[in-house]
Amino acid sequence: MSWHGVLGHDAVFERFRRAVRHGRLASTFLFVGPPGVGKRLTAIKLAQALSCETIPEERLEACGTCPSCIQILAGSHPDLEIVSRPEDKSFIPVETFIGAREHRLREGLCHNISLKPSLGRRRIAIIDDADFLNEAGANCLLKTLEEPPPRSLLILIGTSQQKQLPTIRSRSQIVRFEPLDPALIAQLLVRLDASVAPEEARRLAMLADGSLTRALELVDQDQQEFRERLLSALEQVTFAAVPLAKDTNAFVESVGKEAPPRRARTRLLIGMALDFFRQLMRQLSGESAHGDERLLKAVSLAARHWSTAAEGAAACVERCLEALLQIDQNAHVVTLIDCWIDDLAELAAGRLVRSASAW
């Protein structure tokens, strides 16, 4: 089943249907779940259903053809505000919420959502990168969260509750999005990219960790070839850090000089190593590793020579997670990759023992 083209989250929409039907729709929601599973699309479709000019709100359906439905989808509806973190910023700027200094509190999300709806039934704001709300930004939202304007709806989109500040968590209803089923991802891959054969789609879906976005990234043949080189190095346990870092940096630089695509590719490559160490940790703990045939082979080979037990693999997992956080904090990519791979080599060889808090 699907709700207006959103697959895999019928339970989420049923929850909203019940709330609208009983007149108990909250003013603030926090959508959390893995990236690339449909959280933003769900928010847009929900905004459409709540603003549709032809279908009663209690049905929570959207005709898709009225002016409001078309404008919501295009992001141009006067009652819809969508904000996200600029690519060159570590956090969403405070000005996004309260306006520039010369127009303070007379523009920005907090001002706009307080206005009377222009066309629809309510004002709707979507914060697409809630993981990048700093304390100043959250404090700007505080009054809006505590005293939401009449007929307003605020949706924050993040990856986990733990990344949100307490002021956000305590004032939001949490809506959890589960990873997509690999069979569904494979189906969508074939639908979105005609060049992907069904068998290849199933293989890529197994690598995607429940994320359609990641599966689409993995379609790239160059990325699959790099993954093979990365696994070939990691399965050796005592790999040479310098050549691997040089290869990794060259692969990242091949996407061009712009920072956003370089960071996106670095994030993907770190995710590949993270998959490896997570499954290695499972196997060393006596559990079954999960993944495609190539990943399982690499994990099995590494487990034979791994000298630091599951704790060492867990330390590598923590180091990968730290590297992902550093990407989000706009760390210098070349330096990050050099340090990250050097630390992994030291941890794998048992020459470095550090707690997660040390990074």
pLDDT digits (tens, 9 = 90+) for 211-228: 998 888 888 889 889 999
pLDDT value of position 4: 64
Using an 8 Å Cβ cutoff, are 320 and 270 in contact?
Answer: yes
Q: How far apart are CA 243 and CA 228, in angstroms?
A: 15
pLDDT tens track for 316-342: 999 999 999 899 888 999 999 999 999
Using an 8 Å Cβ cutoff, are 113 and 156 in contact?
Answer: no
The stretches in the chain having pLDDT less than 70 are 1-4, 353-359
Using an 8 Å Cβ cutoff, are 185 and 158 in contact?
Answer: no
Q: How far apart are CA 153 and CA 151, in angstroms?
A: 7
pLDDT value of position 357: 44
Q: How far apart are CA 185 and CA 214, in angstroms?
A: 10
pLDDT value of position 266: 95
Classify residue 191 by burial, with Cβ atoms within 10 Å: 0-12, 13-18, 19+: exposed
For the record, the structure tokens of 70 come out as: 């078309």
Q: Superfamily for 2-176?
A: P-loop containing nucleotide triphosphate hydrolases (3.40.50.300)
Q: How far apart are CA 10 and CA 53, in angstroms?
A: 23
pLDDT value of position 3: 66
Using an 8 Å Cβ cutoff, are 177 and 38 in contact?
Answer: yes
Closest by CA to 327, choosing from 269, 276, 263, 265, is: 263
Give residue limits of the domains in the chain.
Answer: 2-176, 180-210, 220-358
Residue 220 sits at the vertex; the CA angle it makes with 219 and 222, to the nearest 5 degrees, is 140
pTM, to two decimals: 0.81
pLDDT value of position 194: 76
Using an 8 Å Cβ cutoff, are 241 and 343 in contact?
Answer: no
pLDDT value of position 218: 84
Instruction: Name the H helices within the chain.
Output: 10-21, 39-51, 67-74, 95-98, 109-112, 135-146, 166-169, 182-192, 198-207, 212-218, 221-234, 241-253, 259-284, 293-305, 309-328, 333-348
